[in-house]
Amino acid sequence: MDLLAVPAPDFEARRAAVARHAELAVPTGGLGRLAELGVWLAAAQGVCPPRPPARPRVVLIAADHGVAAAGVSAHAAGTTARLVAAVRENTTPVAVMAPVAGASVRVVDVGTDPAPEPGAPDAERHRVRAGSGRIDREDALTEDETARAVRIGRDLADEEVDSGADLLVPASLGVGATTPAATLVAALTRTEPVAVIGRGSGIDDAGWMRKAAAVRDALRRAKPHSADPVALLRVAGGADLAVLTGFCAQAAIRRTPVLLDGLVVGAAALLAEKMAPGAKDWWLVAQRSSEPAMDVVLARMQKEPVLDLGLRIGDGAGAMAVLPLLQMAARLLAETATADAGGDTGTDATGDAAGAATDDTVPA
C-alpha cells in the first residue's frame, strides 16, 4: 500500500494558543496539562481559541480472534457477540460513561463469530469475516480481507466526519484481541515477547504462559513482515485491528482529532503512523494502559497519556474520562480573563514559578 498523505495540524493556531495562554490572568504555568490540551485542540481545529468538542463519537470495532482458542483470555472464545449486545443495551462502561461526557457510541461488528443475524446493524456493509485466523498457527486474514478491512476503517472515519463528528474515539471489543495487538507491537518495534505480554482480561499465571507461547509463535511468523504494516495485519492482526488502522489513518487525513485508548487501538495507531506518517500529530493518548506493550507504543510515538486510571478495558471508557478535560481546556483558553483585562499573572502564592506554556510543552 502506498503511503497516505497526512496534513499537519495548524501551526499558526497552535502558536496563537501558546501566546494566548501566556496572556491569561493565572500564575505562569498554572494551568499545567490543561494548557497543553487546549493548545493541542486549537492546532487540530485550526482556530484559537478552540471550540469545546460538540459532537464526539466513539466508534467501537468488534471482532473475534481465533487465537482465543489457545486460552489467552479470561473470557471464552466466541463470546464477543454478547459484549456487542451489552453495548447496544447501554450496560457496558463506555456506554454508561459516554452520555455523561456528551459523546455518542456506535458499535460496528466487523468480525464476530458466529456472524450476526441478517438485518443486524452493519451486518453486511462492514463485515470482513467471521473471526480471524489463529495467528500462532495461520494468517489472521487473506490479502483481500486485509485490504477490505483497512478500506472499511477509512470509510467509517469518513462517515463519521461527514456526519458532523468533531472528535473521534476508536475503540476495541473482542475476546483475545490483546494477543495479536501485543504481537504487532513486538514485531514493529523488535521487542522481545516477554516484554509485551500483559494480563489482558485478567488472566492467571497459567493463562499468561499460554499467551506468552501464542505471542512467541505468532511473532516468529510475523517478523519477516515487520517493515510492511499491511502484511503484518494479514499475518498477525485481525479484522478489528485492520479496520482500526484504516480508521486512525483516515481521521488524520480528514483533520479530525482522535483520542486513543487501550492497547488494541494503540497497536493499530502504531501501524497507522507507519502507513500514514504524521498521523500521530492528530492523536492524544487518553490514559495509560496496564498492558506493558502499550508502554512500548507510547515510547515509540513519544506520547504521554493524559490520565492513569489503571483501566484494563479498551472499549473507550478511559477516553470518556478525558473528554470533559478537553472541554474545560477549550473554555479556559476562550473565557479566562487576560492580564490586560485587570487580572494578574506571575508566580503562585508560594513564589514558585512553573514554566510557561511553550511549543515544547505540547503533546507530540
pLDDT digits (tens, 9 = 90+) for 266-299: 999 999 999 999 999 999 999 988 899 999 999 9
Percent of the chain at pLDDT above 90? 75
User: Residue 335 is which amino acid?
Assistant: E
Residue 3 lies in a domain: no
Q: Name the domain count of the chain.
A: 2
List of residues 6+ apart from 351 with CB closer than 8 A: none
- State the CB neighbour count (10 A cutoff) for residue 22: 16
Is there a single domain that holds both residue 84 and residue 209?
A: yes
Burial environment of residue 128 by CB neighbours within 10 A (0 to 12, 13 to 18, 19 or more): buried
Is there a single domain that holds both residue 41 and residue 99?
A: no
Helix or strand run (H / E) with residue 226 = none
Residue 2 lies in a domain: no
The yes-or-no verdict on residue 347 having pLDDT over 70 is no
Burial environment of residue 308 by CB neighbours within 10 A (0 to 12, 13 to 18, 19 or more): exposed
- Position 360 confidence tier, pLDDT thresholds 50, 70, 90: very low
Is there a single domain that holds both residue 180 and residue 157?
A: yes
User: Residue 54 is which amino acid?
Assistant: A
Is there a single domain that holds both residue 332 and residue 316?
A: no
Residue 229 lies in a domain: yes
| CATH number of the domain residue 108 falls in | 3.40.50.10210
- Position 114 confidence tier, pLDDT thresholds 50, 70, 90: confident
List of residues 6+ apart from 304 with CB closer than 8 A: 285, 298, 363
Q: What is the mean pLDDT of residues 93-117?
A: 92
Q: How far is 64 from 250, CA to CA, in rounded Å? A: 24
Burial environment of residue 219 by CB neighbours within 10 A (0 to 12, 13 to 18, 19 or more): buried
Is there a single domain that holds both residue 80 and residue 169?
A: yes
Residue 5 lies in a domain: no
Is there a single domain that holds both residue 345 and residue 265?
A: no
The per-residue pLDDT for range 234-249, each reduced to its tens digit, is 999 999 999 999 999 9
Between 121 and 207, where is the model more confident? 207
Whole domain around residue 92: which residue ranges?
Answer: 56-324
Is there a single domain that holds both residue 132 and residue 45?
A: no
Residue 4 lies in a domain: no
What pLDDT does 119 receive? 66
The per-residue pLDDT for range 145-191, each reduced to its tens digit, is 999 999 999 999 999 999 999 999 999 999 999 999 999 999 999 99
What pLDDT does 28 receive? 85
Is there a single domain that holds both residue 115 and residue 161?
A: yes
Residue 1 lies in a domain: no
| CATH number of the domain residue 41 falls in | 1.10.1610
- Position 345 confidence tier, pLDDT thresholds 50, 70, 90: very low
Please give the mean pLDDT across all residues of the chain.
90
Residue pair 273/280 in contact by the 8 Å Cβ criterion? yes
